[in-house]
Structure 1
Amino acid sequence: MRDPDRLVYFKEEVGGLVYGGYELDPIPVASGEITSDFHFQLFEPDWDHFLPLAQAAASRIPALADAGVRLLTNGPEAFTPDGKFILGEAPSVRGFFVGAGFNAFGIAAGGGAGRALAEWIAGGEPSSDLWPVDLRRFGPHHGDATWVRERTLEAYAHHYTMAWPDEELVSGRPVRVSPLYERLARAGACFGSKNGWERPNWFAPSGVEPADEHTFARANWFEHVAAEHRATREAVTLFDESSFSKLLVTGPGAEEALSWLAANDVARPPGRVVYTQLCNARGGIECDLTVTRLDAERFYVVTGTAFGVRDRSWIERHLPPGPALSVADVTEDFAVLGLMGPAARRVLAAVTDDDVSEEAFPFSHHRRLRIADAALEALRISFVGELGWELHIPRDAAGAVFDALWEAGGEHGMRHAGYRAIDSLRLEKGYRVWGADLTPDDTPLEAGLGWALKLDTPRPFLGRVALEAQRAAGPPTRRLVSLRLADPEPVLHGGETILRDGERVGWLTSGGFGHTLGVPVGLGYVRARGAVDAAWMEAGRFEVEVAGEHFAALASLRAPL
């Protein structure tokens, strides 16, 4: 029996009762207290520390107040900074595999974790999606023992507490910040943390505290994000995206290597930006990123904030034999500003003498521009479905470029916008995110990304054989679809069940609210006995289950907007 409200658990044990709990004020093990010869040992009992848990247990089972205690067991427990265990090969040491930090559920997870790790060792890669526990989820700040200790204590204290949607841990912050952090804080940013980076989730107007209020209902930031969303669709917004992970792949073998790894055709002339997946031998999606060719031997790879270590490791572990190349992490070298919205070109033209017209700077292209006397890399790409540019700026010039854009954007109604707006905007357009909508268990054909495959060319790439076989078999029996509810009131968080004609056929991988559409929207995989195609979709009646209620939904293989 578990009682999370009281932070305690109980189980029968040889005619008696064992109980314990997860206190809100854990005691860290002092440095050096556990030595190399510390095996299956315990610490001295600490009755004072255990007393609040004992009192909570007695309030659940009153008979405990008069029961005798035979033994108080006090020993160390391995926890991690995010409360999830660790599996996988160390990205910096080939052949060194880790299975550790099981956060008090090692017995429950041990069988599956052992099998998964054995398969990884034997096969050279995981046999299924293990991202939540993958060692490569950790960034450079996880090498700071002080930070790890502070964050792990907070994670432990949350082990039995309520898990709120969008909840942010607060210890050890800030640790990684963009050069625009102070400007954004003054502008009312409510920051979230991802891979250690402070990122604006939303912006509070004057008189509103920039803080999340935890709830399963509609959040306190809903209307503020709606305003940022509408400004992006109707005017222009400025996003700080400096936390994007950035890799520079260079050398005479760069084109050949990336052509083997990328499912799309990256062997384009300098100045092109290519959206692509990197697949495993099963055709599953290991990475989802953009590749920009800067010149004959230099490629600039941009991926998500949390995926830099993982994606770099995947690239380095799967390079084909060939000419030399190097893969460098340049994340900290560049700030990134997302200039998005119908007025983006007018704002950009006002701050540069370079030609940014449609003819001179079309979609999926890269140009070097000069703004505020700084040379920067501009990528004509968008994750919100509007005209826009990613501006990759040398770190020390970020402030001047930001100020120039903000001044020029005033007459166009420019607003600050954060990552919650990005999520709302991208869901309306059906744009996928790796780790939720795309995983190593999903293929591009299942994810509706067949258009980004070079299967119609003769070029080999990792995963091609599996994808050719899947395509030859006909439409997949499992597909990613977009859903929009008819009722505007339900709150989607992701994970909700999808039903077709009353039968459970899948679940949402992402969920949110589409402020242009005025209704909740989501993405999710559905499965059929036959092909999931347009005819199957149109013939069914779809619903989404939210908090035990079923709500009618319009499901489509196309984006809702």
Structure 2
Amino acid sequence: DRMKNLGAVFGQKFGWERANFFATDGMEQKDDWSFRRSKWFKAVEKECKNVKENVGLLDMTAFAKCRIKGPKAEEFLDYLVANKLPQKIGRVNLCHALNTKGGVHSEFTIMKESDDSFYLVSAGAFQRLDHDWIQKWMPKDGSVQFENLTNSVGVLVVAGPKARELMKKVSKDDFSNENFKWLSSKKVDIGYAPCTAIRVNFVGELGWEIHHPLEYQNHIFDKLMEHGQELGLKPFGIRAMNSLRVEKSYKLVGTELSIEYSPYESGLDRFIHPNKGKFIGLEALNKWREKGFSNKLVTMEVHNITDADVLGNNPIYENGKVVGRATGGDFGFRLNKSIALGMIKPELATTGQKLKIDILGKMHDATILNESPYDPENKLLRA
């Protein structure tokens, strides 16, 4: 109701209702479905610019969430994912579970709660897939326990240059850069609500995910909106989040990350540690690597766009031949560029390479950019 009263136009993901965008300036609170830019385009622009200039609030309660605990929890998770697990209590790592053929099955944000307990967050659309995969590989001797927290834990994201100022207003805890580093978490109180604040987000700005018992969500939301008013706090939706994430070359499971592609093709090199010890898919991944890869994920600027941006599965051409496909895209309002992500032949994956991409039957010039064209050094995330 609170989101609706602020103009939310809702969509759904895996049964969870969530705001696609927020209607403003007397706009009808109804979606306008189109493959082209529609009435929501200007609304999304305002949301993105407010995140860049002030601070935005995003509801990500639809995330899949679970706890893995027990005397062999760490040993099991180390076998499940290809990255190293966080070693210090409170630290957070981005980890990927591969399938037995070496493709990317799932992506988890893993937080270490204690020596024998870990909190896992993954895409809401793949809750059943991810949680089934975990339970399929869990030891059956009771040494590892699985607890589904999806329906009991809410998630609100605050992001933007004024995010720290906002958190200081709603909590007595220390949110300074020295005492609350990027990729770390803390138990904090917001008003009367116990929360876990995690310093990560999917939009490329200073910010925190606030994980909390769902029954406290209205209280937390009200506190944030009350104290954020003078900071320019406004809610933003999933479409703005997508625009912001493509400017950072952030990858989604099912598009940029897939069982069709190796993690190396998807640009996950720094998250894969083949020498850490055995994990699911390692043997197949090594064989795939020896054989050679057929694709490479790139970020592109698409030129001369007027009314439609890349949505995904658009063919990519070079000299009249198909050399790949777009996995996703959007207009990046911070960069003022139409951005596409896509898989192409590795020999063409160099910065400055000229390509063409088909959008709704019309060919557009495209140029490969460096990865993460917005804030490539992550200075804003670490601010």
Bin the TM-score by the shorter chain: over 0.9
2:11 is matched with which residue: 192, 214, 219?
192
Matched residue of 2:45: which SS? helix
Cα offsets for 1:76-118 (capped at 9, x unmatched):
xxxxxxxxxxxxxxxxxxxxxxxxxxxxxxxxxxxxxxxxxxx
Offset of residue 209 of structure 1: 1.2
Deviation (angstroms), 1:548: 2.3
Q: Which of 243, 246, 258 pairs up with 1:439?
A: 258
Matched to 2:148, the amino acid is D
Partner of 2:53: 234
Q: 1:462 to 1:532 in 2, by over 3 A?
A: farther
Does the C-alpha gap of structure 1 residues 335 and 267 become closer, same or farther in structure 2, counting only changes over 3 Å?
closer
What is the aligned-residue identity percentage? 34
Q: Check conservation: 2:305, 2:364, Cα contact below 8 A.
A: no
Tell me which residue corresponds to 1:362.
181
Mark the CA change 1:458 to 1:239 in structure 2 (over 3 Å): closer, same or farther: closer
Which of 366, 369, 376 is matched with 1:553 structurally?
A: 366
Please say which structure displays the higher CA radius of gyration.
Answer: 1
In 1, Cα distance between equivalents of 2:360 and 2:4? 35
Evaluate the alpha carbon distance shift between residue 533 and residue 555 of structure 1 in structure 2; reply closer, same or farther with a 3 A threshold: closer
Match of 1:482 among 274, 295, 299: 299
Aligned to 1:279: 98
CA-to-aligned-CA distance 1:193-225 (integer Å, 9 cap, x gap): 111111011111252211112333321100000
Relative contact order higher in (CA < 8 Å, ≥ 6 apart): 2
Secondary structure of the 1:489 match is coil
* TM-score normalised according to structure 2 size: 0.93
Match among 285, 309, 317 for residue 499 of structure 1: 317
CA contact (8 A) 1:351 1:372 kept: yes
1:373-408 C-alpha deviation (Å, 9 max, x unpaired): 211111110100111111011111111111111112
Matched, 1:220 2:220: no
| Structure 1 position 365, deviation (Å) | 0.6
* Amino acid in structure 1 at the alignment position of 2:64: S
Q: How does 1:408-423 map to 2 (within 5 A)?
A: 408-423=227-242
Alignment gaps of 5+ in structure 2? 375-383
Q: Is the 8 A contact 1:340 1:386 kept in 2?
A: yes
Partner of residue 384, structure 1:
203
| Partner SS state of residue 147, structure 2 | strand
Indicate the structure with greater strand content: 2
Counterpart CA distance in 2 for 1:282 and 1:425 is 32
Cα distance change, pair 557–440 in 1 and its aligned pair in 2 (3 A): farther
In the other structure, the counterpart of 2:356 is 543
Aligned partner letter, 1:311: D
Residue 501 of structure 1: how far off its partner (Å): 2.9
Sort the Cα spacing of 1:399 and 1:296 in 2 relative to 1 into closer, same or farther, 3 A.
Answer: same
Local SS of the residue matching 2:151: helix
Q: CA deviation at 1:549?
A: 2.0
For residues 388-439 of structure 1, give each alpha carbon's deviation from its aligned partner in whole angstroms, at most 9, with x where no partner exists: 1110111111111111111121121111100000000001111011112211
1:433-470 per-residue CA deviation (whole Å, 9 max, x = no partner) reads: 11122111111100001111123x43221122233344
Q: Partners of 2:181 and 2:286 in 1: how far apart?
A: 31
TM-score, L = length of structure 1:
0.64
Deviation at 1:245, TM superposition (A): 1.0
Q: Which residue of 2 aligns with 1:401?
A: 220
Aligned residues: 373
Q: Match of 2:320, as an amino acid?
A: G
**Structure 1 residue 490, shift from structure 2 partner:** 4.5
Pairwise CA distance, 1:370:
0.7
Give the Cα separation in 2 of the matches to 1:509 and 1:216: 15
Q: Are the structure 2 counterparts of residues 532 and 328 from structure 1 closer, same or farther at C-alpha, using a change threshold of 3 Å? A: farther
The answer on whether the counterparts of 2:138 and 2:144 sit within 8 Å (CA) in structure 1 is no
**Cα distance, 1:321 vs structure 2:** 7.2
Distance in 2 (alpha carbons) for counterparts of 1:285 and 1:317: 16
Contact 2:349 2:368 in 1 (8 A): no
Residue of structure 2 in register with 1:520 after alignment: 338
Q: What's the CA shift for 1:294?
A: 0.8
Q: Which of the numbers 107, 112, 122 marks the counterpart of 1:288?
A: 107
C-alpha distance 280-214 of structure 1, shift in aligned 2 (>3 A): closer
Runs of 5+ in structure 1 lacking a partner?
1-181
Of residues 199, 209, 227 in structure 1, which corresponds to 2:28? 209
Q: Please identify runs of 4+ aligned residues in structure 1 that moved more than 6 A.
A: none
Cα distance in 2 for partners of 1:279, 1:468 equals 12
RMSD over aligned Cα atoms: 1.7
Distance 1:267 1:320, change over 3 A: farther
Q: Could you tell me how far apart the structure 1 residues matched to 2:18 and 2:231 are?
A: 24
